[in-house]
């Protein structure tokens, strides 16, 4: 198979973890006789430095032409500490998601038995955790109009959802549930929000077309608790953009490190694969970021294009690194292995 | 001291846990020679049944005339499952908070060593947890205009914050931090939301008046992780209405049960005390709900009116119940003690 892959490293540790992912993709290409070509492009603060915009035209062009995108991470302390800046790195990512129509962000949370000791939660509780969060990614309060009064004293964000935006991701989520354990949990705040009530109505109506899937609805405050107390209860979780952002980061608590969770962002025409974690500015350039979330994102990419065996080979190599304790310090405090060493090890074991 | 206390049990387990709280308040009154009088009023689905409105005029009147309110919980499965109902139980609580001007919701999360084993999190990690969440309670997306298009296919919620709304609770939070470990964490999503950027600006400016307090800012997705991985890091957490709702429920994961967290809702003129947990419809009438969150809310009430010793006596009695394992099944699966038995035990030990 031939694939043109755009590499958007972004800020912080993004470019570093992406380097390791490309190593793994290359190992897959060699082992399974595929041809992957890559084009790098700037996004976020990195792009702002050079082009004064977080999403330069040439980046968008490369993204639109690629078969798939690998994304790193975005954001720097400089902008985090300067909330008044009119141009911000994250706008690059948000616009990119919108331009590519990546409305479904899928975040699998699966416990790896090899590192279960690393979870801060009771082992009996988290053992066997295996759920996927379907987060709506191009709507809601992320994309509604934003206003600041002229005197700068009143700010407004608008959250809007349409039936269409809800049903297209809901269909994807129901279909996924059908192929898994047939349980779908809708997370919302329908006791307070009008948009949540629309979600609940649309999803309930749709569920009639998926009689084999059991639908349950949870309020976000309760879901945030149940996810941690009873993670094996969940199969597919469906939720909006903002709730999905928070809930999915909690998944990393269950499996023991923010450096582990991959994600796939899917639209009608395009697809992008990115770690759930942030840009971790403190670790930038220190060769200590965990590349696994990004590497597992390549496994999602391969799976998305039907390369099942290839995807499994990447996951198997990651698990071998866990078994041999070839891991970054977030997984094992005493570990002396760096980002590149771990990436090399995983890439080297893909053809095992 | 004389206090007129309004009792608003609400729905689900609310009235049951409130009964136990009144027992404790009466034990305090007798032991310390105070005079508390009570007036009961309906709110939520319970009020809708009788008056067709979740906040009847007579309830609001009783609330406005009281020195303090004890609130139970709100919400029923009937309305949770019917997102299209134009009148809903929660509207009663939301309107009450607004009418009483209860803009600061304070949610202390403190680990009790007696039940640390009950936490699903690593003991070393949670031991010593002691932070307070200051949640803005009368603004944000909870109170912005809500719209549904005429054809029912597009829903909108508006989130608005003004400098004034932010600074009044921020002042309270900084003052609390000053008396404690002098650390304030602002939780927001300033990389995406305009309202969050206003929060960040206002709080940063205010922090100059509190030079002894260290301010840090965290994004909600990261905060949801750090709260669980590093709960002892936090002292005072300041956040908006929606983020506070989610974050505070997570506190119950740390300390091991949803049945434990109390809260105080404070305004210029009025104050209300309520458990953080929900109405738990499945347990209604079964004498198994944990009354401790509500009983600890009375400790906050007493403290609020300067009755420090009384407040400590309630907490001490609760801790005695933990020590003697006189607890509901959420704390000890094998426990056979019911809501009333636990409440009696705690009330009986207030004059120890
Ligand atoms: C960087 C930020 C805008 C982004 C988001 O909130 O979507 C990130 O947290 C994520 O989850 O991908
Ligand atoms: C019942 C609901 C409206 C309420 C809220 O979201 O504020 C509750 O969850 C709480 O936290 O007090």
Distance CA A260, CA A297 (A): 10
Q: Which two tokens stand for residue A208?
A: 């009639």
Please give the radius of gyration of chain A, using alpha carbons only, rounded to the nearest integer. 20
- Whether A157 lines ligand 2, by a CB cut-off of 6 Å, is no
Q: Which two tokens stand for residue A65?
A: 């032409």
Distance CA B312, CA B314 (A): 5
Which of the residues B189, B240, B288, B330 is marked catalytic? B189
- Whether A284 lines ligand 1, by a CB cut-off of 6 Å, is no
Mean pLDDT, chain B, rounded, equals: 97
Query: Would you state the pLDDT for residue B290?
Result: 98
Is 3.40.50.10800 the CATH number for A120-255? no
pLDDT category of residue B82 using cuts at 50, 70 and 90: confident
Who's near B343: CB < 8 A, 6+ residues apart? B19, B20, B21, B23, B24, B291, B295
Task: Say how many Å lie between the CA of residue A68 and the centre of ligand 2.
Answer: 41
Atom 2 in ligand 1: which residue has the minimum CA distance?
A: A90
pLDDT category of residue A80 using cuts at 50, 70 and 90: confident
pLDDT category of residue B51 using cuts at 50, 70 and 90: very high
Is B135 an 8 Å CB contact of chain A? no
Q: Where are the alpha helices (DSSP H) in chain A?
A: 14-32, 45-51, 57-65, 77-80, 89-99, 123-126, 163-179, 194-207, 220-229, 241-255, 292-304, 308-323, 339-348
Give the residue from A224, A111, A245 showing the smallest Cα distance to B254: A224
B281 by Cβ neighbours in 10 Å (0-12 / 13-18 / 19+) ranks as: middle
Give the residue from A77, A82, A102 showing the smallest Cα distance to A8: A102
pLDDT category of residue A82 using cuts at 50, 70 and 90: confident
Give the residue from B61, B34, B102 showing the smallest Cα distance to B302: B34
Q: What is the per-residue burial (b if ≥16 Cβ within 10 Å, else e) of B315-333?
A: bebbbbbbeeebbbbbbbe
Strand, helix or coil at B14?
Answer: helix
In chain A, ranges of CATH 3.40.718.10 domains: 1-105+261-352, 120-255
The answer, yes or no, to whether residue A83 has pLDDT greater than 80, is no
A&B contacts, CB < 8 Å: 187
Q: Which two tokens stand for residue B124?
A: 């070393």
- CATH of range A1-105+261-352; options 3.30.70.20, 3.30.460.80, 3.40.718.10, 3.30.980.10: 3.40.718.10
CB-nearest to A158 from B158, B162, B219 is B158
Distance CA B259, CA A233 (A): 20
Query: Would you state the pLDDT for residue A255?
Result: 94
Query: Would you state the pLDDT for residue B85?
Result: 85
Q: Which two tokens stand for residue B69?
A: 């309110």
pLDDT category of residue A306 using cuts at 50, 70 and 90: very high
Residues of B whose CB is below 8 A from A73: none
Mean pLDDT, chain A, rounded, equals: 96
Distance CA B258, CA B292 (A): 10
Distance CA B117, CA B111 (A): 11
pLDDT tens digit sequence for A151-170: 999 999 999 999 999 999 99
What is the atom index within ligand 2 of the atom nearest the CA of B241?
A: 7
Query: Would you state the pLDDT for residue A85?
Result: 85
Tell me the average pLDDT across A195-205: 97
In chain B, ranges of CATH 3.40.718.10 domains: 1-108+265-352, 120-255
Tell me the average pLDDT across B307-327: 98
Task: For a ligand 2 pocket test, name from A221, A223, A224 the mutation site with the most ligand atoms within 8 angstroms of its C-beta.
Answer: A221
- Whether A225 lines ligand 2, by a CB cut-off of 6 Å, is no
Q: What are phi and psi of A271, to 5 degrees?
A: -150, 145
Give the residue from B125, B93, B86, B128 showing the smallest Cα distance to B12: B93
Distance CA A200, CA A190 (A): 7
The answer, yes or no, to whether residue B273 has pLDDT greater than 80, is yes
Query: Would you state the pLDDT for residue B169?
Result: 98
Ordered strands of the B154-162 beta sheet: A146-148, A154-162, B154-162, B146-148
The answer, yes or no, to whether residue B10 has pLDDT greater than 80, is yes
Q: Which two tokens stand for residue B259?
A: 């049945």
Q: Which two tokens stand for residue A141?
A: 């309060």
Distance CA A42, CA B113 (A): 51
The secondary element (H helix, E strand) that includes residue B158 is strand B154-162
pLDDT tens digit sequence for B241-258: 999 999 999 999 999 999
DSSP state string for B141-200 = GGTS-EEE-TTS-EEEEEEEEEHHHHHHHHHHHHHHHHHTTSEEEEEE-TTT-HHHHHHH
pLDDT tens digit sequence for B60-70: 999 999 999 99
How far B1 CA lies from chain A's nearest CA (Å)? 37
Tokens 């049951």 correspond to B16
Q: Which two tokens stand for residue B181?
A: 């470990």
What is the atom index within ligand 2 of the atom nearest the CA of B244?
A: 11
Distance of CA B281 to the CA centre of its chain: 18
Q: Which two tokens stand for residue B6?
A: 């309004």
Give the residue from B167, B145, B139, B129 showing the smallest Cα distance to B261: B129
CB-nearest to A193 from B157, B221, B228 is B157
Which of the residues A67, A80, A130, A249 is marked catalytic? A249
Distance CA B348, CA B27 (A): 7
Query: Would you state the pLDDT for residue B86?
Result: 86
CB contact under 8 A, B90 and A228: no
Query: Would you state the pLDDT for residue B81?
Result: 81
Classified by CATH at the fold level, domain B1-108+265-352 comes out as Isopropylmalate Dehydrogenase (3.40.718)
Q: Which residues pair with A216 in a beta bridge?
A: A185
Task: For a ligand 2 pocket test, name from B107, B245, B263 the mutation site with the most ligand atoms within 8 angstroms of its C-beta.
Answer: B245
Give the residue from A122, A135, A276, A245 showing the smallest Cα distance to B253: A122
CB B16 within 8 A of CB B291: yes
From residue B27, how far is each of B70, B311, B344, B352 by CA, in Å? 16, 12, 10, 11
pTM of the full structure: 0.96
The single-letter DSSP state of residue A160 is E
């Amino acid at each position: 198979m031939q694939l043109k892959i755009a590499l958007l490293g972004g800020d912080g540790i993004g470019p570093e973890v992406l380097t390791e992912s490309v190593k793994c993709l290359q190992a897959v290409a060699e082992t399974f006789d595929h041809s992957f070509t890559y084009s790098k492009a700037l996004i976020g603060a990195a792009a702002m430095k050079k082009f004064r915009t977080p999403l330069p035209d040439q980046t968008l062009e490369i993204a639109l032409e690629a078969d798939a995108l690998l994304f790193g991470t975005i954001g720097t302390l400089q902008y985090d500490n300067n909330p008044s800046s009119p141009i911000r790195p994250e706008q690059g990512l948000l616009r990119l998601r919108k331009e590519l129509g990546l409305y479904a962000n899928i975040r699998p949370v699966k416990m790896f038995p090899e590192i279960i000791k690393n979870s801060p939660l009771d082992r009996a509780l988290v053992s066997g955790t295996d759920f996927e969060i379907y987060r709506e990614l191009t709507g809601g309060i992320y994309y509604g109009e934003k206003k600041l009064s002229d005197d700068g004293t009143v700010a407004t964000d608008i959250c809007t959802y349409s039936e269409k935006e809800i049903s297209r991701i809901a269909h994807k989520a129901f279909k996924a549930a059908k192929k898994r354990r047939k349980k779908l949990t809708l997370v919302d705040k329908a006791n307070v929000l009008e948009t949540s009530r629309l979600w609940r109505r649309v999803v309930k109506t749709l569920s009639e077309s998926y009689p084999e899937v059991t639908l349950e609805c949870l309020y976000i405050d309760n879901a945030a608790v149940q996810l941690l107390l009873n993670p094996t209860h969940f199969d597919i979780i469906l939720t909006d953009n903002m709730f999905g952002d928070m809930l999915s980061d909690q998944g990393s608590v269950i499996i023991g490190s923010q450096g582990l969770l991959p994600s796939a962002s899917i639209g009608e025409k395009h697809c992008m694969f990115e770690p759930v974690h942030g840009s971790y500015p403190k670790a930038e350039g220190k060769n200590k970021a965990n590349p696994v979330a990004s590497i597992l994102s390549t496994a999602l990419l391969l799976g998305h294009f039907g390369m099942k065996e290839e995807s499994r080979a990447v996951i198997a190599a990651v698990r071998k690194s866990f078994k041999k304790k070839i891991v970054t310090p977030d997984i094992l405090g005493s570990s002396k292995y760096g980002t590149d060493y771990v990436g090399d090890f995983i890439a080297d074991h893909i053809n095992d």
